[in-house]
Amino acid sequence: MKSLVMVCLLTLAASGDAWAQSQIDTVKVTGGTIQGVAANNVVSFKGIPFAAPPTNLNRWRAPQPVRAWSGVKRADTFGPGCMQDPSMAVMFGAPPKVSEDCLYLNVWTPARTASERLPVMVWIYGGGFSAGMTSIPLYDGTRLAHQGVIVVSIAYRVGPFGFLAARQLAHEGKGTGNYGLLDLIAGLQWVKKNIDGFGGDSAHVTIFGESAGGIAVSILAASPLAKGLFQRAISESGGNFQPPKFANEGGLNGQPLKLAEKEGDEFLTNLGTRDIMAARTVSADLIQRDGAAASAPRFWPVFDGYVLPGDEYELYELNRFNDTPVLIGTNSDEGALFAQPGVTATSFRAQVQQGYDIKAGSILTAYPSSTDAEAATSSKNLFRDTAFAWPTWTWARLQSRVGKNPVFIYYFDHRTPLSPEGATHGAEMQYVFGNFDTRQGAPSAADAALSEHMMAYWVNFAKTGNPNGTGLPNWPAFTQNSQQVLYLDATIAAKPVPNSAQLQVLDDYFAWRRAEAEKR
């Protein structure tokens, strides 16, 4: 009996070895040859350089060609996160190491041969363009890869290293201030050139991201530099359709180039020099420290006329965007993460009157504040709608009206004991990746079922441009005449756009802001 068991074990081990050997574990890519690690029927390749280190003379430059290496590089460890405060990494269980030398990407492939030509999903992390990294365990691509796609995650520079605009930088080349976005474009170019060797289809790429990553997806959808680098787009809680920000206008983010350059020049002066070559010799730690100071500018993608040619709303109206199928959505209680403590009826009204100018009255009617408790709720909901819900709804309206490809909207409203008032910002990601944070307890059967449905929707969309499939509740495309969104919860069903009355008020506000911006 013992000998029989031993024979069975040896047979299973041999078949497992044969299966592993039939997978793609060594690939020649730009720069050299890499070897991945097989586990759970997926081979992962981590820490693949896709550009030269953006250090020294390469600081605040577009990504430069990758440096070649000899021999076989073991791709078994994530590259360090790009320079930032490492507290986000610690919070999410990622290695806290950060460095300027950070332009690495990762690949998870289930393919056994290079001829399989599987669809590719390229992940872009969030973090307010000041933080984020690919090594966060939540972003592991194994579970999605099990659904028959290749998953790639790309690192990009953040904070002052990724989004400093300055006049001297503009004189060095085209555009300034969007180096983090140029990193993503370089990563997508790497995918186009190399992913076939992993069993992927370079003409079948979906970009997907959350928060700042979702905003980056939106910008790539409008950037001529990204044309042809992807064929589908998924944005979770992202969108960049607000007009440019000149001062402290409510609900606005990106600045026009001249203003961003002015603030960037002041930042360099505070470093001790306005000479850009000298600034490239300043320690990364000092730049990171000053970039995190309360007096520092907010480092954010800039309307530079190059990576981002202009106001995305206007670009879409002119049909100047990369027209692909789009899957976008928001969460029901996104504003809770950003809620300011101690909001009162008085302080909320003052904030709205200061930020929303002549439209403050209509905003306060839509977001009432008769009590302090009501004001606190309105404050977080106003942030939710200006930052996430209105840009998503606007993106859907423009895509359905101007584009040739469909748009699908979701509304993630899954409530848990930790978030009884609605789904908070980023809550959907663990369902999309199938990676639950067990520090918060084991997922329930309902959580697991919802995750399976969401992974299927996302992967179906990556495969066909339509999230629908066998066994899934129907997800209708959003149209001007039928503005339906898919509510994602224990019960999945299509319903009208939530909070539509408030969104209409914001639409009037943003239209007024856009008209005012055009007068400048």
Catalytically active residues, by annotation: 211, 334, 425
Q: What angle do CA 504, 507, 508 make, to 5 degrees?
A: 95
- End-to-end CA, the chain: 87
Q: Angle, to 10 degrees, between the axis of helix 212-222 and the axis of helix 179-194?
A: 70
3-state SS assignment for residue 195 = helix
DSSP letter, residue 376:
H
3-state SS assignment for residue 198 = helix
Residue 35: closest CA among 333, 27, 230: 27
Pairing of strands 37-39, 484-488: unpaired
- Between the alpha carbon of residue 383 and those of residues 1, 386, 401, the distances in Å are 68, 5, 26
> 34 pairs with which residues across the strands?
27, 73
- Rounded Cα distance between 365 and 443, Å, is 40
Residue 81 phi, psi (nearest 5): -65, 155
Residue 437: closest CA among 456, 420, 416: 416
3-state SS assignment for residue 433 = helix
Residue 363: closest CA among 334, 391, 393, 383: 383
For 83-110, the DSSP string reads SS-THHHHHTT----EES---EEEEEE-
- Rounded Cα distance between 96 and 348, Å, is 37
- Between the alpha carbon of residue 325 and those of residues 94, 206, 316, the distances in Å are 32, 10, 14
- Rounded Cα distance between 233 and 218, Å, is 8
Q: Which residue has the tokens 């909001």?
A: 343
Residue 194 phi, psi (nearest 5): -120, -15
For 118-138, the DSSP string reads EEEEEEE--STTT---TT-GG
Pairing of strands 118-124, 150-154: parallel
Which residue type is seen at 175? Answer: G
Could you tell me where the DSSP H helices lie in 231-389?
257-271, 276-279, 284-291, 312-317, 345-356, 360-366, 372-384
Dihedral of CA atoms 85, 106, 201, 237 in degrees, nearest 10, equals: -30
